[in-house]
Structure 1
């Protein structure tokens, strides 16, 4: 039997899906017993008590103030850790705000958008003002990867949000746990690999990290300069003038245009509750027409970016044992929009930022950790600002408190970034960035999976429908 050759975890997940589908195909057979109710009461007692202390009603949130201050402290720590890896940290902010501050999920999500924006602003400002001699006197942000990835990531988020509305909660929780656990494992594996290679280079160079280029994990040099130690990033997209300028104005202009086009579509369409700048029927013909318009928009921008290519010299990693980065950068550029589309879909499905998902993918294709962190934070800036503006225009409450939390995350991100970058420069350990990404992903996996499981158990005990739902 061929099925016996499948990995065990696939068989187990399939069995769980079949079992839950059979159970909930006959909801009238489910009767909550007294034992189940006792277990449910025990599991959710502390959570409900915390929430009841944190908010007295939807209109009077943010009480008592002590819990808000405690949540701010935890968010400060989470933002400082997340900033080093260039990821937003929404997977940590939402659980902290719901558990500690007692906010409802909708308010916590809106606050998280502002907090991620604050952290990404700190990252972008730092990276724009920092020139890396290690990468040929350029900024760490790879505008080419951002330009190739951003349209498909924004499209993927819209697809993921629709899937989030359709998929049952138990399926989303299982997919989230499996995918993020595998990504966390891969991230830590890459971090250990970078650490070992950096240690080997230190030993071979007799501890002369700066002279011999230790800590340049993932850096590239051209095969045309065999034996040379000149390191730089060959641009994926050759747009006239962009190689000589510290700020590639044309690429930045196109990125802003992409952001504005998608943002305008979101505002015209509104959400499924009819909240928007136009009186459009929710889930009507116009609603879906504007939603589908995102597909040709993303394809057009991505095709333009792919068209602006020019075959450059092949690139290979400096360190041995890393495998080939790409045989030819121009012929492999399609991998970036595909990765961004996958990250966007999963981010929209799970309700977290794309940075936590795109970062492991970029590390997996051997992009340097420093470049990965800076580029991810740059892309997170565009997606988080779009979410924050939408919340504002659709009547968000408690904007003053949200701005205070965003300032806290701005300061924490800047501080964490300065500390980690100083450590990387001093010890030549770029793997510290990868470890920080892994830590945030591991904590997010545990927190969000645990409370997602509690919500699933709550729905099961109360006999709620747990099958697939229509998007509207």
Structure 2
């Protein structure tokens, strides 16, 4: 009797299980398909929890932090050659390897990018090249025209990042950077072929002088001016003789103005420098001040350019042949605003986005790298100052990582410069940019996909949000 009763219970249980499995087939199939992914995420969460527990009393020296330092050193040395900050590599390294939360990783990244860009600025600010007519390698005119609207674009991009869902940001990031990486690789191959033709024609020793003429003639006469002379063309003679301190002063004023507004508003986590009502009237008034500020700076710079240009033409008795129209004058501000918006949206620096654009319009690779690193310095230093004054944690560790990136950037620059001199291949810079972009695309896309999967499993809102929900 007991055996029959047991068999009856087993048969009834089996029937119930079969009925439940048939009635909930749509629920069991995703579970079976997602089991492996859930196991992987569980292991990652356990690793992160273990690492964060070991760092509760401070960032102690641990194998994971040593590996983080080594990886950041390699990333900084690669990024420095292309004038890119490297934030697209630092954030995944800090969050995955060191298991830091995104807020701490973002603050560390600001200091690390600043340290690497300082090395680039030190090497490029006073460097003059015969290839550019004795001018400095950094094109200060592009930086002046681009910086106001790039800073404005970053603020707009941060708001878009708060409004857009995580899955949309990840998809846009992957598509845009994949296309930019492909275009940059094409540009690198283009420069490589030009250099190879010049090597075959004149030999490696004459490559630097011969490449400019062939490259600019292949690109177009309008882009020759952008490579060989600054946008404020009348200052060409004076800039060869002395350092453009006035342009540097203008950039510092722009940086200081936007820094004040950023400190008043606070960072993306709602930490403000002064108390104000979150998303209140005063908040939006101060935030909107960036729009007229960017317009005023850009309009004044363009007016100054026109005045100096016409004055030079009248003094030399030359005909005005540069009536290119307003569209060409506004190219760099519009491009910079787009790069800033995308940088703020994706949470990376603008250098990775504006560098391919400068290469696309025909700016020489050396000048593109130097100018981008110069612009990245102002962006990253403003973010680092903001984090510092708002009371970030683990300042000592961020300074150590910044010093590591500084040394790595110096080493990377020296190696790349020697390689360019020895082999006559300025296209190495372009390939360095494309390498960093490709690695950032893979790492940041995977990192974003994991966050999207976590949000989906936890039942969080996957749609658009209001910009003030984070406060």
TM-score (structure 1 length as normaliser): 0.84
Matched, 1:335 2:350: no
Q: How does 1:378-457 map to 2 (within 5 A)?
A: 378-457=374-453
Match of 1:118 in 2: 115
Match of 1:318 in 2: none
Instruction: Work out the CA distance in 1 between the residues paired with 2:75 and 2:200.
Output: 34
Task: Show structure 1 runs of 4+ deviating over 6 A.
Answer: 29-32, 229-232
On the 8 A contact 1:205/1:212 being kept in 2, the answer is: no
Instruction: Work out the CA distance in 1 between the residues paired with 2:183 and 2:328.
Output: 22
Q: How does 1:35-50 map to 2 (within 5 A)?
A: 35=32, 38-50=35-47
Deviates more, 1:35-44 or 1:252-261: 35-44
Matched, 1:155 2:164: no
Instruction: Work out the CA distance in 2 between the residues paired with 1:249 and 1:330.
Output: 27
Displacement of 1:242:
4.9
On the 8 A contact 1:217/1:369 being kept in 2, the answer is: no
Match of 1:88 in 2: 85
- Number of residue equivalences: 427
Match of 1:17 in 2: none
Instruction: Work out the CA distance in 2 between the residues paired with 1:182 and 1:337.
Output: 22
Match of 1:361 in 2: 357
TM-score (structure 2 length as normaliser): 0.84
On the 8 A contact 1:347/1:354 being kept in 2, the answer is: yes
Match of 1:302 in 2: 298
**1:173-195 CA distances to partner (integer Å, 9 max, x unpaired)?**
00000000000000001000110
Paired residue for 1:268, among 264, 268, 280?
264
Q: How does 1:142-221 map to 2 (within 5 A)?
A: 142-210=139-207, 213-214=210-211
Instruction: Work out the CA distance in 2 between the residues paired with 1:368 and 1:166.
Output: 37
Instruction: Work out the CA distance in 2 between the residues paired with 1:329 and 1:412.
Output: 43
**Structure 1 residues 230 and 178 mapped into 2: Cα distance closer, same or farther (>3 Å)?**
closer
Paired residue for 1:75, among 45, 68, 72?
72
**1:57-81 CA distances to partner (integer Å, 9 max, x unpaired)?**
7744535611111100000000000
Displacement of 1:246:
3.7
Matched, 1:235 2:226: no
Bigger proportion of residues as helix: 2
Instruction: Work out the CA distance in 2 between the residues paired with 1:386 and 1:96.
Output: 22
Instruction: Work out the CA distance in 2 between the residues paired with 1:83 and 1:371.
Output: 13
Q: Which segments of 5 or more consecutive residues in structure 2 lack a partner in the other structure? A: 1-25, 313-321
**1:272-323 CA distances to partner (integer Å, 9 max, x unpaired)?**
665223211111100011111100000111111111224599xxxxxxxxxx
Instruction: Work out the CA distance in 1 between the residues paired with 2:214 and 2:460.
Output: 51
Instruction: Work out the CA distance in 1 between the residues paired with 2:107 and 2:286.
Output: 24
**1:303-359 CA distances to partner (integer Å, 9 max, x unpaired)?**
11111224599xxxxxxxxxxxx9959862311111100000000000000000000
Displacement of 1:48:
1.9
Displacement of 1:113:
0.3
Instruction: Work out the CA distance in 2 between the residues paired with 1:30 and 1:40.
Output: 16
Larger Rg: 2
Q: Which segments of 5 or more consecutive residues in structure 1 lack a partner in the other structure? A: 1-28, 314-325
Displacement of 1:457:
1.3
Match of 2:462 in 1: 466
Instruction: Work out the CA distance in 1 between the residues paired with 2:77 and 2:214.
Output: 23
Instruction: Work out the CA distance in 2 between the residues paired with 1:355 and 1:80.
Output: 15
**Structure 1 residues 387 and 271 mapped into 2: Cα distance closer, same or farther (>3 Å)?**
closer
Matched, 1:253 2:249: yes
Displacement of 1:219:
5.9
Match of 2:10 in 1: none
On the 8 A contact 1:86/1:374 being kept in 2, the answer is: yes
